[in-house]
Structure 1
Amino acid sequence: MSGTVHGVAGEDRSDYTKAESKAIRSRSWRLLLSLIAPMKWRVILTAVVVVAQTAVRVLGPALLGLGLNAALPAVLEGEDWGPTWLIAGAYAGTAIVGAALLAWYDMLAARVTQTVLLDLRTRVFRHTQRLSLEFHETYTSGRIISRQTSDLDTIRELLNGGLTQLVNGVLYGVFTFIALVIVDWQSGLVIVVMLVPLTLLLRWFYRRSQLAYRATRVISAQVIVKFVETMTGIRAGKAFRSEPRNEVTFGKLSWNYREANMRVIRLFGTFEPALMAISAFAIGIVVLWGGVRITWDEFSVGLLLSVVLYVRNFFTPLQEVAMFVNSFQSASAALEKVSGVLEEGLSVPDPTKPVAIETARGHLLFDDVTFGYGEGRTVLPHFRLDIPAGQTVALVGTTGAGKSTLAKLLSRFYDPTRGAVRLDGIDLRNLDPGDMRRAIVMVTQEAYLFSGSVADNIALGRPGASPEEIIAAAKAVGAHEFIEQLPDGYDTDVNKRGGRVSAGQRQLVSFARAFLADPAVLILDEATASLDIPSERAIQDALQTLLADRTAIIIAHRLSTVEIADRVLVMEYGEIIEDDSPEALKQGTGKFAQLHKAWQDSLV
């Protein structure tokens, strides 16, 4: 279960073995092909258009050479303007048709690009939502944001402009070479000879840029992670005056990012001058040999003009090939990261044959459950617990005893290593996911509120609930009074993370959300921890209402919340060491009695 998460985490590095690099590239190309496959006919049409546009462009130098050789002498000797107008019209026609085809290609390519990005962005969002809690606890939010923003933008740049650069560089170069050979095969031989140093140069540039761009994607993600982490934890940062330390750390990451980009720039600083030198050398040879042949009356000035233009046109687009390699390497590195997320398997998969449960009663059974996080120690060894429907059970114990782990297993954030967690006799792994989410609801200490109104956040418990039902839920848990005092009442926008309401008020909203959901099983994981003691006492009645007629599991360090439970379980090292009613345990001499006495002494 942990291996897949570690596998993804390990991909944010640049030192791959050859086998790893090959496997990752293969995976990335499979992803790209799967995105393009539904649009194969549109892609084919785009390819046909671009081939036609490139072929039309290649006619230009040949027409100019023909004009010098045939049309111009006709004007000078006999004042016959017919060939001139014919060639000029053909040249203008190629320009107009080429421009029209280029505009058509741009539109087709843009539609393909935007469709691919829409599909990819949706896939990443949908898949990351479905991934288990284990993944999200390992894979930081900053890295997810990097996948959805900078990595997808890099892929967009490749699909938008990079493919055009490739076409101009490769296809136009091939067509130009063919035309050159047709016009003058001897000049074509010069290009063939120049291909040797050109191939070595391109091979060197490709290999070096591949490593360089992979490093830039890794460091780019690290910069985004640090920025998101700092802004998310800004309150803690200000509380501990960590701004100078954060500035130093971020400065180092930014410097590393700069250095990674400078390595890419230095590659171009070597590649482009070398390419220009090969091009100049080839043109010089062609001009020299053409001039010699003109003196021998074996060549003409018009043909020499055509040949020089073709040789220049052959090398000039190669700079665009380098720019394509630039986009391609950066996009390949980005695609590797995105495909890594999409390849991440579900450690909590949906059942292949889900079992439906229309109305859950709430009977829970931990049937010989063994569980541990990843490669760490076993938290629950051969754990068994039977909770009858409608019973309120409180879990107490020291930190690390396994209380929250029980809640996560019951909410199916994780699956047991061995054994099963059952609801009404059905293994949660076989239960229909929709039915399970309606039957089991957890209220956590965080009490997260999403952007939107207070009413929207309460309605999250049951989408489609009427305003009257939302207000009734808020009244049931004691949240109605403070909501009415907000600027716009239930329509008040809570802002990011519920910034307009206090921690205690956010918790009351989360209680209202749970009450509206009306689950058969309710889990309160330190749900009253953010409330002060007077507020906690004030909502005891609300809790009684919230927990009535349903199975409830309360995890709390404050023993005042435990008082409302029918049964108290004291846990230690993943085992239940005490199990009885609160009153019976308080009168005893065990662990709960000691904890309760210590809690009462702290109040005094």
Structure 2
Amino acid sequence: MSITTVHGTSGEDRGDYTRAESRSIRRRSLRLLADILRPRRRLLVLTVVVVVVSTILRAVVPSLIAYGIDAALPAALDGDWAPILWTASAILVAGGVGGLLVGWYVVLIARLMQAIMIELRTRIFRHTQRLSLEFHEGYTSGRIISRQTSDLESIQELLDGSLNELVDAVLIGAFTLCALLLLDWQSALILCAAMIPLVLLMRWFVRESQRGFRATSVASAKLIVRFVETMTGIRAVQAFRKERRRSREFAGAAKEYLDANLRVVRLYGVFDPALMLLGSTTIAVVLLWGSLRVVDGTLAIGVLLAAIMYVRNFFGPLEEVATFLNSYQSAAAALEKVSGVLEEEPTVADPDQPERLPDHGGTIRFDEVEFGYGAGRSVLRIPDLAIPSGQTVALVGTTGAGKSTLAKLVARFYDPRRGAVRLDGVDLRSVTSADLRRAVVMVTQEAYLFSGSVADNIALGNPDASLAEIQAAARAVGAHEFIEALPDGYDTDVNKRGGRVSAGQRQLISFARAFLADPAVLILDEATASLDLPSERQVQAALQRLLADRTAIIIAHRLSTIEIADRVLVMEHGGVVEDGSPAQLIARDGRYARLHREWAATQE
């Protein structure tokens, strides 16, 4: 069961859960860890063996000291130095071998933990790329970045250091109690009695810190979202003079994060002193009761010293448990969110038994198609629509008429609620994403360029293309001249998001990328909106040549772009209300004719 939701705010993002949700989330997180650890079982077993043996060697040292004081030392006073030498040698061997094993354990645990972190990072990246467009439109980029950064850093902090402290505390505590029971059961009973308030203290701290760290995780994610939104939309922020407002909003998120952290700090202000007081009280009681028995002659002084050392060793690592619990609660909250993302399933999934699309085609058919976003009302109804192979169709209509939604169904970014969208007679739900991306390419208004050269960005359409083929695609869309004028021509690094080229030039590069892919169906969604009129005319001439043998769907508000279309579909309220060639629709004097007259008036 995945608690994360695409639309709205989930319990994980609010930080509040029902009891059933909490159990489900914990099981989900444990399944994730078990799945990652399964291929690394041998390394995990070796690590456990090494740490257990090293802890046993460290736990026997107080008993050896007790033997040295109570048995070996009197023998030495009588002239027999063999016992004291053997005892000293045993302490030296236990310490030396234990130290070597601790060093080996540190290396082994580091290898194991780094393997886990690499696997988590890779899984998140791979999985979020595989998720459908619906997920990414509802899950903000700031939250995704938070999963890859602050959440994984919390998990890494736990695995790198705090886990060592927990293992040390648990094993030392267990072996110390066992050794103390064998050495002096009365002191062991005092320690067991002290464990009652210790368990209550730990339980209180775990419960309260769990709430606190969930709150800090949520507040941290909000802070990242505020930052990413502002930096991503910095042009709009500066254009509308919203710097002060965004600063106030960021300061509010920062204050919420600060308050959440301070609440956690106050918990430690209670936990640490209480733990120290309980440890000191237990040592004092063991010392007092042991002294009475030493005076009575029922307890050897060496055993009392060893018992005090064991109690001190038991409580000493527990002070480090607070550090582990700090990291654990933060990491647990982070792992809940990471596992939630990894449990998301694509709403548009590959079929179990796919059908292959023909190599050459492009006939599109909508058969009783109905579509709506999420659980909302239907926004698109296309009872019957056929687009023959090789035809260029323009979609026209007001904002929200359903033009982009229709195009996204053809590209299979979404699946219809009812009916089917078919390409060359094949239901798109029966086609693998790889096969569909080969046949259908969409160019949007946001011409995104990746860091790298111009040639690399064009070659995304066909990674195996030669430089000559890349240049031919650029010439076809009129991009060759400006690319040659760049400092290093096709080898020019465009920088992040194409910062070295203008918006129009980025769009031309994206056209070249699409044409190099040579799809059967090409979708242009407001793809010429960022071009000036001379560039648009240049692209239109290229489009007429390059779209001659393929199916094309063009969405544009500029009717000049639509003039190259063979057919126009006028859409309103999610349906097609007019269908025909541009000349036919102008002659009918309907919606398209009215739009055409308004556009023509602006050109005079």
Q: TM-score, normalised by structure 1?
A: 0.97
- Cα distance in 2 for residues equivalent to 1:121 and 1:106: 22
Shift of 1:360: 3.1
Structure 2 partner of 1:375? 375
**1:158 matches 2:158:** yes
Amino acid at match of 1:197: P
Residue 402 to residue 515, structure 1, CA distance change in 2 (3 Å)? same
1:9/1:138 contact within 8 Å kept = no
1:2/1:374 contact within 8 Å kept = no
- Cα distance in 1 for residues equivalent to 2:497 and 2:290: 74
**SS of aligned partner of 1:460:** helix
Structure 2 partner of 1:413? 413
Shift of 1:78: 3.6
- Cα distance in 1 for residues equivalent to 2:150 and 2:352: 35
1:360/1:424 contact within 8 Å kept = no
**SS of aligned partner of 2:429:** coil
**SS of aligned partner of 1:524:** strand
Shift of 1:314: 0.9
Q: Deviations over 1:145-182 (max 9, x none)?
A: 11111111211222222321121111110100111111
Shift of 1:534: 2.1
Structure 1 partner of 2:492? 492
Structure 1 partner of 2:287? 287
Amino acid at match of 2:208: R
Residue 255 to residue 8, structure 1, CA distance change in 2 (3 Å)? closer
Residue 58 to residue 3, structure 1, CA distance change in 2 (3 Å)? closer
| 1:556-595 equivalent positions in 2, closer than 5 A | 556-595=556-595
Amino acid at match of 1:72: L
Shift of 1:432: 2.9
Q: RMSD value over aligned CA atoms?
A: 1.6
**SS of aligned partner of 1:12:** helix
Structure 2 partner of 1:319? 319
**1:551 matches 2:551:** yes
| 1:20-419 equivalent positions in 2, closer than 5 A | 20-75=21-76, 77-419=77-419
1:358/1:435 contact within 8 Å kept = no
Structure 2 partner of 1:525? 525
- Cα distance in 2 for residues equivalent to 1:428 and 1:415: 8
Structure 2 partner of 1:437? 437
Q: Deviations over 1:172-213 (max 9, x none)?
A: 101001111111111111011111111111111111111111
- Cα distance in 1 for residues equivalent to 2:234 and 2:359: 44
Q: Deviations over 1:29-82 (max 9, x none)?
A: 11111111111222111111111111001011112222222333334x244433
1:168/1:320 contact within 8 Å kept = no
1:461/1:514 contact within 8 Å kept = yes
Residue 3 to residue 101, structure 1, CA distance change in 2 (3 Å)? closer
Amino acid at match of 2:28: R
Q: Structure 2: any 5+ residue segments left out of the alignment? A: none
Q: Deviations over 1:272-312 (max 9, x none)?
A: 11111111111111111111112112222222211110111
Bigger Cα displacement from structure 2, 8-17 vs 198-207: 8-17
1:166/1:320 contact within 8 Å kept = yes
Shift of 1:324: 1.9
Bigger Cα displacement from structure 2, 438-447 vs 80-89: 80-89
Task: Percent identity, please.
Answer: 62
Shift of 1:109: 1.1
**SS of aligned partner of 1:383:** strand
**SS of aligned partner of 1:600:** helix
Q: Structure 1: any 5+ residue segments left out of the alignment? A: none
- Cα distance in 2 for residues equivalent to 1:266 and 1:317: 21
Q: Deviations over 1:496-527 (max 9, x none)?
A: 11111001000100110011001111001001
Shift of 1:382: 4.2
**SS of aligned partner of 1:441:** strand
Amino acid at match of 2:223: V
Shift of 1:462: 0.6
1:5/1:344 contact within 8 Å kept = no
- Cα distance in 2 for residues equivalent to 1:560 and 1:454: 29
Amino acid at match of 1:204: W
**SS of aligned partner of 1:528:** coil
2:4/2:11 contact within 8 Å kept = no
1:58/1:176 contact within 8 Å kept = yes
Shift of 1:7: 7.9
**SS of aligned partner of 1:5:** coil
- Cα distance in 1 for residues equivalent to 2:311 and 2:444: 70
Structure 2 partner of 1:14? 15
- Cα distance in 1 for residues equivalent to 2:213 and 2:540: 58
Residue 569 to residue 7, structure 1, CA distance change in 2 (3 Å)? closer
Amino acid at match of 1:5: V
**SS of aligned partner of 1:381:** strand
- Cα distance in 1 for residues equivalent to 2:193 and 2:81: 41
Amino acid at match of 1:136: H
Q: TM-score, normalised by structure 2?
A: 0.97
**SS of aligned partner of 1:11:** helix
Q: Deviations over 1:566-589 (max 9, x none)?
A: 111111111211111112222331
